[in-house]
Amino acid sequence: MNSFSMPAAVAHPLSNAGQILKQYTPESAFFFASPTRTLLAQGVHDMILETIGTDRGERLSDRITRVLAAQGRAGHGVPMAVGAVPFNSTSPAHLIVPKTIQSAGPLSAAADALRPQPQASLQTLRKVPEPRDYVRGVELAVGLMRNEALSKVVLSRMLEMTLREAVDLRAVLQRLSQQNRSGYTFAANLSDPMAGLSGSERGPSSRPRTLIGASPELLLSRSGLRVVANPLAGSAIRSPDPDEDRRRAIALLASEKDRHEHAIVVDAVAAALRPFCRHLSVPEEPSLTQTANLWHLSSRLTGELRDLSISSMRLAAALHPTPAVCGYPTERARAAIEALEPFDRGFFTGLVGWCDAAGDGEWAVVIRCADVAGRALRLYAGAGIVVGSEGQREFDETSAKLRTMLNALGLDQAPEIG
């Protein structure tokens, strides 16, 4: 296991990923567990609050490169930028260069020893929009696609709630790691030690504030010249009955509607990556991947970059937002989202991950997540809408997606959730 840090704040080496998870506290800057590694960042050397903007992330990527190069020249170990980027390209990213970074292998084996904590108790709940209004929104979106040049739009909903006690973030993170062995578990501290964030990005409360979740979807990873993207689109709710569960998986793989939705996403991701790649391999057919609650259609794209100057942040920004979280064409889908979603997504359907001074990194899509501030939190879920989508089925899909966070919070049996 590696431990990177500034000389004045050397972290004690940890023997495994489970110990890293136990070291996490709500004051920690950043936690990220992927199928290849586990990271824990503490303290703040520098902050990067740039937007992706209209240049597809060139300015943001350049800023990260300059900041990390300066930290390296100052002798601060192996610099790395970690954090989250919001859905809206005009809202600032929340990225930091931490004082210490502790690194270990994947968390999967370590998670077995973790113990769940007592369940949470719900005090207040607001559904945004109300279920009937979400179903109506799906119908309106399908109408737009029949009458306009719009192929897909992703419509989301939010649960805004207050618990009787503050969220135990470490316990939630432990549960998420147990549920999400092959995905991307994260906790990003969005509190700004230098200045408060303003506007809609403040979330349910100003400080402290944490973005926490367990995403099944890799937006992009880069290791040297090798790049990987793994979009997910097209879903089916799993069944506790093994035979029915298998039937649903087979039906999803054969579904013309879901394969069409998936192809829109894969084509867009491939088109965004090709200008940067010498070679790009795109699967001809989707495969199946699973979470505890859902089956997904999945395609793993692999490529070789033209040169090493193209960082993981630059690539991730060029892809963001994919049709998996926004729709297609992008600007028409954004307009539909603004018209039909009655809330600001904030960091939901944004990016979370890391980029080092060499340009390597991993960026996951911010889904299956919550924005937490003390006892107040917001949970989000969305569904891809195409011609042929049915409002109630899409609502049910979002309910299944919300179960990831509800289970981790111990609220999966709360009757008020519905």
Side-by-side strand order, sheet with 294-298: 232-237, 294-298, 287-290
Active-site annotation holder among 217, 261, 394, 397: 217
Residues 212, 186 contacting (CB under 8 angstroms): yes
DSSP 315-359: HHHHHPSPTTTSEESHHHHHHHHHHH--S--TTTTSEEEEEETTS
- What is the rounded distance in angstroms from the CA atom of residue 24 to the CA atom of residue 8? 20
Among the listed residues 239, 238, 119, the one whose alpha carbon sits nearest the alpha carbon of residue 175: 119
CA distances from 392 to 1, 16, 358 (A): 47, 44, 47
Task: Look at strands 80-85 and 2-5 and give their pairing.
Answer: unpaired
Please name the residues in contact with 285: beta carbons below 8 A apart, sequence gap of 6 or more. Answer: none
Compute CA 245 distance to the chain's CA centroid, rounded to the nearest angstrom: 26
Instruction: Specify the DSSP element, H or E, that contains 418.
Output: none
Residues 253, 226 contacting (CB under 8 angstroms): no
Q: Is 139 a catalytic residue?
A: no
| AA identity, residue 337 | I
Q: Is 217 a catalytic residue?
A: yes
Residue 236: Cβ within 10 Å count:
24
Residues 286, 298 contacting (CB under 8 angstroms): yes
Active-site annotation holder among 50, 58, 152, 341: 152
Residues 105, 11 contacting (CB under 8 angstroms): no
> CA geometry: angle at 169 spanning 168 and 170, to 5°?
95
Residue 242: Cβ within 10 Å count:
8
Among the listed residues 396, 405, 344, the one whose alpha carbon sits nearest the alpha carbon of residue 369: 405
Q: Which residues are part of the catalytic machinery?
A: 152, 217
